[in-house]
Chains A and B, each alone.
Chain A
Amino acid sequence: MRVVKFVAGRFAGMVVVLLIVSFITFLVFYVLPSEPAQLACGRPCSPQALELAREFMGYNVPWYQQYFDFLGGIFTGRTFGSGPSAIHCPAPCFGYDFQNNAEVLDQILDRVEVSFSVAIGAAIIWMVAGVGLGVLSALKRGTPLDRITMAVAMAGVSMPAYLAGMLGITIFAFGLDVVPKNGYVPIGEDVVQWAWHLVTPWLVLAFLHAAIYARLTRGQMLETLGEDFIRTARAKGLTERRVVGRHALRNVLLPVVTVFGVDLGLLLAGTVITERIFSMPGVGMLLVDSIRSLNLPILLGVTLFAALLVTVVNFLVDLFYGVLDPRARLT
């Protein structure tokens, strides 16, 4: 019963967060003096034609009405315009991209595979490498291994993603000439080529994140190893391996998993910079392209999509937290 309440509470929180994010995003984008209808109106744009375009797109009603129309579209779908030229956007409708005559959701879903491929691959590498190196560093505190790891981690934390990306391309693609410079091959087409094209972005993203995780893990591990329950575990005669692996690591992973949730959620929603550097047509690229063309429905759609992923991943992390730490189930 307690578990059900815990899950339900977190789920309700997630929905509320999403509503707020959508509201703020909508408010900011539609209250700012931008005129999406102007772009669709064509040139020369007569006032009548502009009015027609606004009416067709649903921008002629007050902003709060637009917001409710938008929310309603998610559940029931929306129809823009009327008569033979009407465009129907079936539920769940996250808006319609009038520039490319496509549903926003379809545009995003078309590109999700790329962003997910980049993010998940990198996340696996950085979790293993970051946590592993962090634990190792903490156990060998003060040795050259610890110092070198922490120096490299410091460089990784301080390095902007695009510099690391360029460095990665220079070393692996230009210098060693072993991997492709950019581009993406769908996983359904050729798994080997898929992975081969992704190796550099994975390593670059993983390096940047592993640096943060190694530092976090090391600090947390050092603190945990000083706790009383570790002394108790040692006093019970457990092997060092069991003390570190079972007792300490469980405690160390709590904050790491929290950070991981936020990072993974954001990356799944499009690795904006990585995709730009490696020319990968993911959700991040869609966002950057839509900035250039001032494609408001896409901007709104991608922001909401990102918020959805962040909150969903956070929700899952909260649940996992409950599994990892019995104390969390009580609150």
Chain B
Amino acid sequence: MSDPLPLGGEVTPGAARSLPAALWRAIRRDAWTLTCAIIVVAIVLLAVGADLWVAIEGQDLNENIEALGPDGLPAGPLGGVSADHWFGVQPLRGIDLFALVAYGARVSLLVGLGATVLATVLGVLIGASAGYIGGWWDRVVSWASDVMLGFPSLVFMIALGAVAPIEFPRQLLLIVVLGIFGWPRVARIVRAQVLSLSKRNFVSASRVMGGGTWHVFTRQLLPNLWAPIIIVSSLTIPSMIGNEAALSFLGAGVLPPTPSWGRTISDAIDYFETDPMYLIFPGLMLFLITLAFNVVGDSIRDELDPKSKGRG
């Protein structure tokens, strides 16, 4: 690098080895990462304890036209924000907006995390086997991931959401479809890593000593793959959450009456001029969770991969 040697006696420490260690270092190093980690925790708590928080607030997901003014808009300033309705209420139907946002967080996180886990597991298995076994399987995988990456996935998912049978649970469908479109990105990275690892002596040694494919994969390769896997999956979560919200926004995601940030935002756009708070609360939440996951993911990458330090 063009950087001179550090003069202040400050020596850059080596890469962190595990996820908790990387996270801990990133949080201590920089207040911004800490803030974002707190935001992630807060929104996760909001989603997990949605029932509890909404019960404490004393509201539910039912319509309540008493909270509305004569014009159908929320009574009171700021979209009806009050001690009873923490985020105000929805225009026309008077559903409590905090309840909508809290239960919506559950859907967003469930789909986002579920799809990320599926994409990561598929990507690791497919990518690692392609890199390790090589040959025709490697060619098939490389080619299939090229096809997947060139597939108009958003358009396809929108169309699929329109024709999928209503009985099929929507959250599961979203997880499966997003996961299936997500694996090639993981597989590419894992494959490249396995290719370079399998040329190393310790892998050959393990094989010579009679280690089977499964042993070599779980005991020799996997421990060295954690860093890239954690990096790519921590940056996949926000994009999956965004995809779910976009699909719900377009009416091809989670079906009513299940709350979803994307659909709430889509409804809120029609009221933007008269009741902006209706858009601001769910919109801000979606922005915050995506931003927080991105920032934390970036910092984890910096800690796990010293080469990327300061690359932003």
Contacts and interface: CB of A to CB of B under 8 A. Distances in A.
Q: Please indicate whether A and B come from the same complex rather than being unrelated chains.
A: yes
Interface string A162-180: 1100100010001000000
B286 A163 contact: yes
A265 B150 CA distance: 9
A194 to B, nearest CB: 24
A32 B163 contact: yes
Interface of A: 13, 17, 20-21, 25, 28-29, 32-34, 137, 141-142, 150, 153-155, 157-163, 166, 170, 174, 215, 218-219, 222-223, 225-226, 262, 265-266, 269-270, 272-273, 276-277, 287-288, 290-292, 294, 296, 299-300, 302-303, 306-307, 309-311, 314
Given A17-B147, A310-B150, A162 B269 contact: yes
Contacts of B245: 160
Contact of A291 (B154, B159, B246): B159
Contact of B155 (A226, A292, A306): A306
Contacts, number: 136
B163 A20 contact: no
B250 A291 contact: yes
B2 to A, nearest CB: 6
B150 A299 contact: no
Contacts of A309: 152
Nearest to A296: B163
Nearest to B291: A158
Interface string B124-137: 00000000000000
Interface size on B, as a range, is 35 or more
B312 interface: yes
A218 B311 CA distance: 7
Given A153-B312, A272-B154, 19 more contacts: A25-B156, A29-B160, A29-B163, A33-B165, A137-B312, A142-B310, A158-B238, A159-B287, A161-B246, A162-B246, A163-B286, A166-B283, A219-B311, A219-B312, A272-B155, A287-B155, A287-B159, A290-B162, A309-B152
Query: Which of B154, B273, B294, B312 has most A Cβ within 10 Å?
Result: B312
A287 B294 contact: no
A21 to B, nearest CB: 6
B251 interface: yes
Nearest to A161: B246
A158 B149 contact: no
A158 B295 CA distance: 9
Query: Which of B147, B152, B266, B295 has most A Cβ within 10 Å?
Result: B152
Nearest to A157: B294
Interface of B: 1-2, 146-147, 149-152, 154-156, 158-165, 238, 242, 245-246, 249-252, 265-266, 269, 272-273, 279, 283, 286-287, 290-291, 294-295, 298, 307-308, 310-312
A277 B269 contact: yes
A307 B146 CA distance: 13
B246 to A, nearest CB: 6
B162 A306 contact: no
B250 A276 contact: yes
A292 B162 CA distance: 8
B269 A299 contact: no
A162 B265 contact: yes
A166 B311 contact: no
Contact of B161 (A222, A291, A314): A291
Nearest to A13: B146
A215 B311 CA distance: 8
A287 B158 contact: yes
Contacts of A222: 310-311
B254 to A, nearest CB: 15
17 contacts: A25-B159, A32-B164, A154-B295, A154-B298, A158-B287, A160-B246, A161-B246, A219-B308, A219-B311, A219-B312, A226-B1, A262-B150, A272-B158, A288-B158, A292-B251, A296-B163, A310-B151
Contact of B283 (A137, A154, A163, A311): A163
Nearest to A167: B283
Contacts of A310: 150-152
A160 B286 contact: yes
Nearest to A21: B151
Given A166-B283, A226-B1, A303 B294 contact: no
Query: Which of B151, B245, B273 has most A Cβ within 10 Å?
Result: B151
Nearest to B249: A162
A243 to B, nearest CB: 11
A225 B163 contact: no
A142 B311 CA distance: 10
A150 B269 contact: no
B160 to A, nearest CB: 6
